[in-house]
């Protein structure tokens, strides 16, 4: 059986987790939490990095920091995971879905400006498959309209746009360290705060609404409840596991890119024959090998190919059902403009097995079976 995913494991995690246990500091913000935060901050240049219990919680925090409330509107793609939408719908915002680009499956930057109203508070670009959205155009639109940008970079850790790390370009960025991502700790995430004026507020929200962070820095003689917040701080055990992976991020990334490149080169013949399409990476974007997908002719072909691979012990999966067509999406949002690509492209896409340590033999087995299917 070739699984769709195996959680990344380098072999260094055990020692760090045991070290965290021996230190007797399990509740978070210990040595490993700080080490992870510093490493990500050094990598991205973010003003502040706060580890969180999930990418979902990092997005929740960004919505709170922006003061999103009932009556506000937030622009986002419909082709994304539910956490992107939940963070803002939970605050009472109306979700305004716009169409995607078929080449990258990302938010179409050319459709955003016409979706803005006087109630728009934020644009939420999702960097699908670790390939950047067209951030320069989105930044220009946001600046002109005086609205914020929250990057959903769940899949974009250690990927860049014109040399800038994803997640560190907008006002806020959210990372995921879920077991399906490149660098993992089971469940976990990070909020990148790129606005220095929001750092203290972010710390308060993450620390259950208290000024505990200021207390530990000696800035107040006791800490107390000062605002709304929740418990978004992950344990030291998760941070210890994650730090072992972040230390080896180059090795992990290169291994994934090697597999991605093998898929790409091997499928060129099927592309030229018109059977499939493969991911496109625009100029100026450096992806991180997070996923490799193919697009087939239609929904029927996708179902048949997934079943064929499953019968041959290969797990391949489709991805998101567009949010605007879901029960909750219909309740909390609306689609602005025409759904020209979102549904059509989502029904054609198949994600193939790709994870750290997948062997060349396993990749070749997947590739050969895809060819056999079309033959």
Which string of DSSP letters, residue by residue, matches 317-368? B--PPPGGGSHHHHHHEEE-S--SSHHHHHTTEEEPP--TT--HHHHHHHHH
The topology under which CATH files domain 249-374 is: 3.90.1150
Local confidence band at 276 (pLDDT 50, 70, 90 cut-offs): very high
What is d(CA 330, CA 337) in angstroms, rounded to the nearest whole number?
A: 15
Q: What is the pLDDT of residues 60-73, one digit of tens each?
A: 999 999 999 999 99
Q: Are strands 285-286 and 172-176 parallel, antiparallel or unpaired?
A: unpaired
What is d(CA 48, CA 29) in angstroms, rounded to the nearest whole number?
A: 14
Q: What is the pLDDT of residues 230-269, one digit of tens each?
A: 999 999 999 999 999 999 999 999 999 999 999 999 999 9
Count the Cβ atoms, other than its own, within 10 Å of residue 251: 12
Q: Which of 368, 130, 375 is nearest to 266 (CA)?
A: 368
Q: What is the pLDDT of residues 14-63, one digit of tens each?
A: 999 999 999 998 998 999 999 999 999 999 999 999 999 999 999 999 99
Alpha-carbon distances of 249 from 54, 139, 157, 188, rounded to whole Å: 19, 28, 10, 16
Local confidence band at 217 (pLDDT 50, 70, 90 cut-offs): confident
Q: Where in the chain is the domain with CATH 3.40.640.10?
A: 13-246
Alpha-carbon distances of 189 from 116, 121, 337, rounded to whole Å: 29, 24, 33
pLDDT for res 108: 98
What is d(CA 242, CA 33) in angstroms, rounded to the nearest whole number?
A: 9
pTM for this one?
Answer: 0.96
Q: What is the pLDDT of residues 334-349, one digit of tens each?
A: 999 999 999 999 999 9
What is d(CA 306, CA 220) in angstroms, rounded to the nearest whole number?
A: 59
Residue that is written with structure tokens 């006002």 in the block: 171
Average pLDDT of the residues in 304-312: 98
Decide if 342 contacts 324 (C-beta within 8 A).
Answer: yes
User: Measured on CA atoms in the order 226, 230, 231, 232, is the torsion positive or negative?
Assistant: negative
Q: What is the pLDDT of residues 157-207, one digit of tens each?
A: 999 999 999 999 999 999 999 999 999 999 999 999 999 999 999 999 999
pLDDT for res 216: 81
pLDDT for res 212: 87
What mean pLDDT, rounded, does the chain reach? 97
pLDDT for res 213: 87
User: Interior CA angle at 348 toward 345 and 350, to 5°?
Assistant: 120
Alpha-carbon distances of 273 from 147, 238, 270, 276, rounded to whole Å: 45, 46, 5, 8
What is d(CA 191, CA 234) in angstroms, rounded to the nearest whole number?
A: 12
Q: How many CA atoms lie less than 13 Å away from 28 in the CB half-sphere?
A: 16
Q: Where in the chain is the domain with CATH 3.90.1150.10?
A: 249-374
Decide if 247 contacts 12 (C-beta within 8 A).
Answer: yes
Helix or strand (DSSP H, E) at 302: helix 299-311
Provide the greatest CA pair distance for the chain.
Answer: 73
Task: Just give the CATH number of 13-246.
Answer: 3.40.640.10
pLDDT of 154 above 90: yes
What is d(CA 135, CA 140) in angstroms, rounded to the nearest whole number?
A: 8
pLDDT for res 209: 93
């Amino acid at each position: 059986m070739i699984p769709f995913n195996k959680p990344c494991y380098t072999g260094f995690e055990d020692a760090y987790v045991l070290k965290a246990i021996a230190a007797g500091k399990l509740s978070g913000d210990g040595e490993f939490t700080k080490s992870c935060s510093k490493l990500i901050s050094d990598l991205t240049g973010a003003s502040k990095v706060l580890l969180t219990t999930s990418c979902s919680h990092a997005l929740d925090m960004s919505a709170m920091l922006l003061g999103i409330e009932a009556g506000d509107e937030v622009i986002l793609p419909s082709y994304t995971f539910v956490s992107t939408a939940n963070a803002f719908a939970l605050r009472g915002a109306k979700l305004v879905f716009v169409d995607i680009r078929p080449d990258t499956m990302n938010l179409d930057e050319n459709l955003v400006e016409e979706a803005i109203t006087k109630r728009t508070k934020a644009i939420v670009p999702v960097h699908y498959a670790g390939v950047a959205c067209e951030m320069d155009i989105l930044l220009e639109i946001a600046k002109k309209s005086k609205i914020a940008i929250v990057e959903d970079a769940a899949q974009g850790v250690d990927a860049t746009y014109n040399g800038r790390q994803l997640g560190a370009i907008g006002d806020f960025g959210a990372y995921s360290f879920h077991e399906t991502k490149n660098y993992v700790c089971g469940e976990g995430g990070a909020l990148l705060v790129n606005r220095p004026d929001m750092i203290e507020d972010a710390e308060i929200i993450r620390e259950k609404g208290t000024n505990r962070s200021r207390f530990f820095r000696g800035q107040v003689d006791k800490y107390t409840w000062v605002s709304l917040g929740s418990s978004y701080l992950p344990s030291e055990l998760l941070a210890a596991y994650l730090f072992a992976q972040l230390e080896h991020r180059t090795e992990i990334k290169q291994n994934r890119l090697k597999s991605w490149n093998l898929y790409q080169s091997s499928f060129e013949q099927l592309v030229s024959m018109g059977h499939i399409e493969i991911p496109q990476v625009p100029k100026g974007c450096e992806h991180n090998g997070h996923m490799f997908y193919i697009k087939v002719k239609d929904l029927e072909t996708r179902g048949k190919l997934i079943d064929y691979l499953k019968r041959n012990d290969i797990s391949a999966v489709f991805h998101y059902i567009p949010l605007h067509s879901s029960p909750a999406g219909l309740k909390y949002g609306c689609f602005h403009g025409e759904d020209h690509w979102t549904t059509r492209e989502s029904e054609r896409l198949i994600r193939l097995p790709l994870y750290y340590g997948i062997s060349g033999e396993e990749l070749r087995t997947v590739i050969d079976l895809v060819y056999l299917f079309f033959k």
